[in-house]
Amino acid sequence: MPTGPDPDTISTRRRMRRVRIVVALLLCSSLTGCLSRRMTIRSNPPGALVLVDGKEVGYTPTAIDFTYYGTREITLVKDGFETLTTLQKVRTPWYERFPLDFVSENFVPAQITDRHEFFFEMQPSVVVPTQDLLERANGLRTESQLGGP
């Protein structure tokens, strides 16, 4: 008289199903990808202090890792040269756009390195002779006292 499946068989099947699920999860977690984002900033002349979004990051040439794409404020400062401040767009690559970004960051079984290089030409600072500066200041003072144009 059949009474249904053997309880030991059901228990063995459940254990095997759990083992398969655990193995599948372990395999999926080992296939996770890795994405590295890095920007390199160079200048002519080299050795300028670099500030990215107001934070000092080093002297050119320098490279920094970043997390988010978008527009960055990059400032270069060097004695004898005009301070250079620019809004630099860091473009998002095609594989980092929704919904592909989920796949590229989590399931590509290799490391992806996204590199951005920026080069800036700094201009020498113009030194105005003291006498010219004083003459200009006196002219402005006179203009303001007479009611200027």
pLDDT > 70? residue 1? no
- For 28-56, the pLDDT digits (tens) are 555 556 778 899 999 999 999 999 999 99
Query: Does residue 25 fall inside a structural domain?
Result: no
pLDDT > 60? residue 77? yes
Task: Provide the pLDDT for residue 43.
Answer: 95
CATH number for 114: 2.60.40
| pLDDT band of 19, cuts 50, 70, 90 | confident
Query: Does residue 92 fall inside a structural domain?
Result: yes
| pTM of full prediction above 0.75 | no
**Residue 90 belongs to domain spanning:** 32-140
Task: Determine the longest span between alpha carbons in the chain, in angstroms.
Answer: 120
SS3 133: helix
Query: Does residue 3 fall inside a structural domain?
Result: no
Query: Does residue 48 fall inside a structural domain?
Result: yes
* Number of independent structural domains in the chain: 1
Query: Does residue 19 fall inside a structural domain?
Result: no
